[in-house]
Structure 1
Amino acid sequence: MLHQTGFEGIALNSHREPADLRDRIALRTVKFMRVFADTFFRKRYGHRAVVLETVAAVPGMVGGMLQHLRALRLIRDDEGWIRELLDEADNERMHLMTFIKIAKPSRLERAIILLAQGIFFNLYFLLYLISPKTAHRVVGYLEEEAVISYTQYLAEVESGRTENVAAPKVAIDYWGLPQTARLSDVIIVVRADEAGHRDKNHGFADALSS
């Protein structure tokens, strides 16, 4: 399972330089999305996590479904892509379940969640049909931004500007954290997950380029 990956050897500041026009479009799209997140949430990182994890759980499910259908059409082995993508979607869902307990989103934020998921699902579905490579590159860049956001969130907690509350039980059970775990411990394991998704999706995009 993805969430059991160790933290050693994970490069938190890794960035994949765009190699072609599609990569540049993917990066600029993600940077454009980042502007909206920064404007709306600013330093409310817990609430930002709730909305963004709702969106982040979409690509793995869409990619897994379309890879499944492609494997059936071509009558070929999927080489582990389906399970990897579905595991990623489930992992992101657990991120959401965790931060809902921490941030307790308002009705407005829950409405934004519904709207963001509906728009992003349809756009990503179309993108994956047209260009799976670009779709995975978009996710790779999204995860790069997620790592940055969680690093900033961790700094807020460690500085004392955000209370280092107790980790919710769902997080303790999922990641096998000690019963004394705090929010900072949760952010660290979630950030490691996102770095793993970043590298995996850039790897998928590279494989589709070859």
Structure 2
Amino acid sequence: MSSRMAGAALLRHLGPRLFTAEPVSGLTARGIVPASARILPARMASTAAKQDDTAEQQGSAGGTEKPEEAAGGQSKKAIVSYWGIEPRKLVKEDGTEWRWPCFKPWDTYTSDTSIDVKKHHEPTALPDKAAYWIVKSLRVPMDLFFQRRHASHALLLETVAAVPGMVGGMLLHLRSLRRFEQSGGWIRALLEEAENERMHLMTFLEVTQPLWWERALVLTAQGVFFNAYFVGYLLSPKFAHRVVGYLEEEAVHSYTEYLKDLEAGIIENAPAPAIAIDYWRLPADAKLKDVVTVVRADEAHHRDVNHFASDIHYLGMKLKDTPAPLGYH
């Protein structure tokens, strides 16, 4: 009996605290709030906040659209960088707004078109001869397939050419982490090469658009080449760089043929794409011929860098002990 009386007294004492008709501080729920609101206030607060957000959205559904929402549901808010800092507004030298999010004004450069485009590395050792004939055998079906459709050929070529630099840079990056050693600047050099090749692709996308079967061919070629080059670089970086050196020689040859058809009038020498004018700092009235010329110069630079990297391995030197060649700037 005494226990019943003690329980009733405790209920009378704690009742007003456990059950109240007033809102609990930090909550927006009305009416009677359960005792769990005092036990788990954070959980109840988050639920109430969600209710507030829902009510706010429902209230604005029939009203005007929020100013940060653009047509199609896209946000007009400035893109925030990785570091959480709102990027500053970039302008070109003439004061006009910079409109390329894929590269910045300081990434642009003037290509060295005086580079020797006829330079050829004569294969002597057996691995070099194997690399040379592998590349030569790949060129035959490409020439038969694309004929004189140089723009389409360039699209496929650049989707493959951008793979070696990324693979090599990635593997060197992982090696540097494993061995706690420097890379001699080769990681950045190879990644710059991959990015430069990707910009070639972005440029020729403004010249021509790939058909569905060309996209399928790109998927197949890239999938096969990436895995083959990855394994090849693990087994022999010297051989892998030599293959790329000869691939770049073939790229130089392909763009030389492209230039011949442009000069002969077989292909229209249309105005250069705007992205190419800004990336290579070309004149405003530049033509497609100017674009192909600077792209060919870039490929010649890649040719020399990869042959040099292969020569270092051939001489028994390591990339980390030999500084990488200068970049494109």
- What TM bracket, shorter-length normalisation? over 0.9
**Cα displacement (A) at 1:58:** 0.1
Residues 1:171 and 1:5: Cα distance change in structure 2 (over 3 Å): closer
Q: Distance in 2 between matches of 1:4 and 1:117?
A: 29
Q: Which residue of 2 aligns with 1:206?
A: 311
Residues 1:151 and 1:118: Cα distance change in structure 2 (over 3 Å): same
Matched to 2:195, the amino acid is D
Gaps of 5+ in 1: none
Q: Which residue of 1 aligns with 2:237?
A: 132
Q: Distance in 2 between matches of 1:138 and 1:44?
A: 25
Q: Which residue of 1 aligns with 2:220?
A: 115
Q: Which residue of 2 aligns with 1:80?
A: 185
Q: Which residue of 2 aligns with 1:25?
A: 130
Matched to 2:113, the amino acid is F
Q: Distance in 1 between matches of 2:276 and 2:221?
A: 24
Listed as ranges, the matches of 1:157-196 within 5 Å are 157-196=262-301
Tell whether the 8 Å contact from 2:108 to 2:279 is kept in structure 1 after alignment. no
Tell whether the 8 Å contact from 2:269 to 2:289 is kept in structure 1 after alignment. yes
Q: Distance in 2 between matches of 1:124 and 1:206?
A: 18
The partner residue of 1:151 within 256, 273, 276 is 256
Identity of aligned residues (%): 57
Tell whether the 8 Å contact from 2:251 to 2:299 is kept in structure 1 after alignment. yes
Q: Distance in 2 between matches of 1:99 and 1:24?
A: 32
The partner residue of 1:7 within 96, 107, 113 is 113
**Cα displacement (A) at 1:130:** 0.6
Tell whether the 8 Å contact from 2:166 to 2:191 is kept in structure 1 after alignment. yes
Residues 1:3 and 1:176: Cα distance change in structure 2 (over 3 Å): closer
The partner residue of 1:50 within 155, 179, 194 is 155
Larger relative contact order (CA 8 Å, sep ≥ 6): 1
**Cα displacement (A) at 1:5:** 4.3
**197-206 or 94-103, which moves further after superposition?**
94-103
The partner residue of 1:67 within 152, 163, 172 is 172
**Cα displacement (A) at 1:19:** 2.4
Matched to 2:153, the amino acid is R
Q: Distance in 2 between matches of 1:147 and 1:55?
A: 15
Q: Distance in 2 between matches of 1:69 and 1:107?
A: 36
Tell whether the 8 Å contact from 1:95 to 1:190 is kept in structure 2 after alignment. yes
Q: Distance in 1 between matches of 2:257 and 2:222?
A: 24
| Per-residue Cα deviation, 1:93-152 (whole angstroms, up to 9, x for no partner) | 000111111121111111111111111101100100011000000000000000011000
* Larger-Rg structure: 2
Instruction: Provide the alpha-carbon RMSD of the alignment.
Output: 1.2
TM-score if structure 2 supplies the norm length? 0.62
**77-86 or 67-76, which moves further after superposition?**
67-76
Aligned residue for 1:101, secondary structure, equals coil
TM-score if structure 1 supplies the norm length? 0.96
Listed as ranges, the matches of 1:31-42 within 5 Å are 31-42=136-147
| Per-residue Cα deviation, 1:57-86 (whole angstroms, up to 9, x for no partner) | 000000000011111222111001000000
Aligned residue for 1:103, secondary structure, equals coil
Q: How many residues align?
A: 209
Tell whether the 8 Å contact from 2:111 to 2:294 is kept in structure 1 after alignment. no
Matched to 2:215, the amino acid is R
Q: Distance in 1 between matches of 2:167 and 2:125?
A: 24
